[in-house]
Structure 1
Amino acid sequence: MAAKKGMRGWGRLRPLPSKRYQASYIGPDGRLHKAPATFAAKIDAQGWLSAEQRKIELGVWRDPREAPKTVLTVRDYAERWQSESSSRLKPRTLDLYRSYLNRVILPGLGDVALNQLTVNDVRGWFAGLESYPTRNANAYSLLKTIMNQALDDELIAVNPCRIKRASVKHRVAEPVALSAREIQSLADSMTVDRWKALLLVAGFSGLRWGELAALRRSDFVLSGGENSVTVRRSVTRQAGRFVVGRPKSAAALRTVPLPSGLAFAIAGHLEELALAGSSGLAFPSLTGDFPHENTVRPHLKRAALVIGYNSFRFHDLRHSAATLFAQAGATLADHMTLMGHTSSTMSARYTHSTAARNKDLVEGMWPPE
């Protein structure tokens, strides 16, 4: 008689929707016994079955239900989840997740049994967090992701993370969108010449800080009627050192045209302040290393005060460029390409701002009386 699908010569293996494997067997007591956890690889599940079969053959098998049970906590499962995710996540993302676990999630929920975590537990934990909206939303999203995996592994019956809009990020401060002339004035107001061109490139290209900090001389083209900058890499600060890697996403690998009026300022900066050679850093620190945003920030805040802004962040330069692209008539597809967005939702926030201009264009289609 042919064995049923999922059956072995002894014991049973069952693939789960999560692509993990569940192992079980009929013990000497005539009862069905399941492995205490699922397995990432089929061979591991087979190994567990072989070990159980060997115990029976040697006469040392005991009913696992009679042995003291080890409680699988949220902490245990979260650690396992991050370990299994390490190969598919970027180092910077892993560091962020580790920070959310250690500082936000595990102090309040780590010791709770995984299969005993309730909606009320999660709601109470979330309500008791300090007022850091973005951090809290990210931590909640991470917890929900981990619990979804536990659900796929059939370790819990339902995901207890069911707080409406808990993962929605709320702005603490409204972003500032500078005009083109204000970006120029901001750069002129910088008291340190080394960072003037950096601000101009940021304000007219929309590059992220990590992309700007990693730029080399060869990433700029300022001749032959073409003025552009190409994003090939990004740099992050991890455990006190700079780490160069790929940008945030595949869409971030892009070439962004620059206004021809910037060519002179950029060329002068590269000649005087960039490191030597085609691979030399375009915007190095005084020590010749990658620049740190904390070094630029105080000078930027002082320059912003000069042009009348009491609150200004470096990321506002990216927001300014995004707004200028939209006001210049960039389509949604154009905007996504220029900004390196993977989601049309992000670019739509800016292209929608051209609705008034579109109304004028449509009115202009009507023939004059």
Structure 2
Amino acid sequence: MEPDGRERSKACASKDEALAVLARVETDKRAGTYVTPSTVTFREYAEAWRARQAHHAPSTAAQVKSRLQNHAYPAFGDVQLARVTRGMVQDLVAQSGLAPSTVKVLYTYVSAVFDSAVEDRVIAVSPCRRIALPRDEAAAVTPLTVEEVAQIADAVPGPLRAMVWLGAGSGLRPGEL
């Protein structure tokens, strides 16, 4: 029996299996961890989740919609939330063909949908655990030589020369200088 009083049935192969399922459900209900099985798909839940995101600026809301529609929905949009596996999420991340920073943004949105579903007790656990995200390989920084800094300092007006040397030696950004 569901917490709301409705009865739910499940076919089991044996009486022992049925008793084990019943015991597990009763234990989960007492512990407050029982989640009613749901047939809602990832797309259905994600669209409802997007509609509830009042803190998103219009540009962010458009980005969330685009990332979900172009990448997550084709991967598992029509799969029931409870049937999306960690492997499916890992495949999305690994095979998206997007830049690493964009993959991280996409994963953040997908993970937020699943976290919300857990909080709403639509699913028991999120499949977005221990997902290996691609590394964002930053371009190697090659510092200027002393001669190159001297050339730049000589090319700017007198009062700004000290700023060139300070920036080269300290790593401060132009606005900080």
TM category (shorter chain) comes to 0.5 to 0.7
Matched, 1:77 2:45: yes
Distance in structure 2 (CA, Å) of the matches to 1:97 and 1:183: 45
- Equivalence map 1:88-167=2 (5 Å): 88-166=55-133
148, 170, 191: which one pairs with 2:136?
Answer: 170
Distance in structure 2 (CA, Å) of the matches to 1:182 and 1:92: 39
Task: Provide the aligned length of Structure 1 versus Structure 2.
Answer: 135
TM superposition shift of 1:138: 1.3
Report the counterpart of residue 346 of structure 1 in structure 2: none
Q: Retained in 2: the 8 A contact 1:137–1:169?
A: no
Q: Retained in 2: the 8 A contact 1:74–1:109?
A: yes
1:19-63 deviation line (CA, Å, top 9, x unaligned): xxxxx65xxxxxx139xxxxxxxxxxxxxxxxxxxxxxxxxxxxx
Question: Which of the pair is proportionally richer in helix?
Answer: 2
Q: Retained in 1: the 8 A contact 2:42–2:77?
A: yes
Q: Which stretches in structure 2 are left out of the alignment for 5+ residues? A: 8-36, 161-165
Q: Retained in 2: the 8 A contact 1:151–1:157?
A: yes
Q: Which stretches in structure 1 are left out of the alignment for 5+ residues? A: 1-23, 26-31, 35-68, 189-259, 262-322, 339-369
Opposite residue 140 of structure 1, the aligned amino acid is Y
TM superposition shift of 1:161: 1.0
Question: Which of the pair is proportionally richer in strand?
Answer: 1
1:123-175 deviation line (CA, Å, top 9, x unaligned): 23323221522211211121111101111011111110123442x65136446
Q: Retained in 2: the 8 A contact 1:72–1:114?
A: yes
Q: Which has the larger radius of gyration?
A: 1
288, 309, 327: which one pairs with 2:170?
Answer: 327
Distance in structure 1 (CA, Å) of the matches to 2:64 and 2:79: 19
Relative contact order, CA 8 A, sep 6+: which one is greater?
A: 2
Task: Give the SS at the match of 1:100.
Answer: helix
Between the aligned residues of both structures, percent identity stands at: 23
1:253-298 deviation line (CA, Å, top 9, x unaligned): xxxxxxx74xxxxxxxxxxxxxxxxxxxxxxxxxxxxxxxxxxxxx
The TM-score with structure 1 as length reference comes to: 0.31
